Amino acid sequence: MRVLVIGAGGKLGSRLLPALLAHSHTVFAFVRSQSKLESLLPPALLEKITIISGDAEDIPTVKSALLEHGIDILICTAGSPSALDGSGPPSRQGHISASIAHAAVQAGRERKNPVKGWWVTGVVLLDIPGRLPGEIWLDHIPNLRPEHRLTASTLYSIPTTELGWTILCPSGMTPRSTALTYSVEVGNEIVFGANYAPYFELGGKGELPPPMRARLGDDEMGKEIGALVTEHTAIMEDIADRLAEELEKPTGDWVGKKVGLKYVPGTTVKAI
């Protein structure tokens, strides 16, 4: 597949580049600063990708990148804040996501073949098990950033016949290494699940760090979210590899869905 990573200079985006190459995709990196990305990547990796510089909020620029390079699938990691981080300045993620989505719709119409895309958001967009469908974790967390909800509402408004969108909802993500290397030795133990966090039931006993717990509250729902985050934290490189692996499939099993994920040691199951 010809894959465009928007936000390729970020923590997850930069780790997607070697993962995609390892799975034999043709990789295009869309960044605001080419020099920054070049400073992050080793020469062996740089020579295998095509870098496109531009503003992800500029619809004509993104549309042009999609059309000129014949992109099959885009992955948007640009501007994504932590789903549980309510501090700091407002993120532009919702606006960036909307611009990219509209650019992809226009590109698909022009070439008469819809673009597919994955938007990285956060675990709080997933449905709560045992509750009414559509009741999400973010409904119970006051005073958090609205960016993830804005991204979701933009994509929900677009028919999948116009844009094959998928919303990836990871929990905490930690890097295995600061090195960004290209390797054909791939493998992960990440399970995907539609709309819910895989293998999660209410009644968990996870514990959040004190600053985060202060923002979420210490009631039963706050404790449940703590359990969710604790149980579903995963390694960035493994998430990148799992997504790169998924893009090898032509079926688009996750189109029009939110996707939760979990690290499950020893698993041979890839989806539930």
Can you give the pLDDT at residue 131? 86
Can you give the pLDDT at residue 84? 53
Element (H, E) at 76: strand 73-76
CA dihedral sign, ordered 193, 198, 199, 200: negative
Q: How many CB atoms lie within 10 A of CB 31?
A: 24
The string of DSSP codes covering 80-101 is ---TT---SSPP-HHHHHHHHH
DSSP letter for 39, please: H
How are beta strands 2-6 and 73-76 bridged, if at all? parallel
Can you give the pLDDT at residue 90? 59
Can you give the pLDDT at residue 97? 94
Can you give the pLDDT at residue 205? 55
Calculate the alpha carbon distances from 251 to 15, 25, 206, 248, 255 in Å. 24, 16, 36, 9, 9
> Which alpha helices (H) appear in 112-254, and where do they start and end?
147-156, 210-216, 220-232, 236-246
CATH architecture type of domain 2-202+233-263: 3-Layer(aba) Sandwich (3.40)
Question: pLDDT truncated to tens, each residue of the chain (272 aa)?
Answer: 999 999 999 999 999 999 999 999 999 999 999 999 999 999 999 999 999 999 999 999 999 999 999 999 999 998 765 555 555 555 678 889 999 999 999 999 999 999 999 999 988 899 998 888 889 988 887 556 678 888 999 999 999 999 999 999 998 899 998 888 766 556 788 999 999 999 887 765 555 555 555 555 556 776 787 788 888 899 999 999 999 999 998 778 899 999 999 999 887 778 88
CA dihedral sign, ordered 57, 60, 65, 71: positive
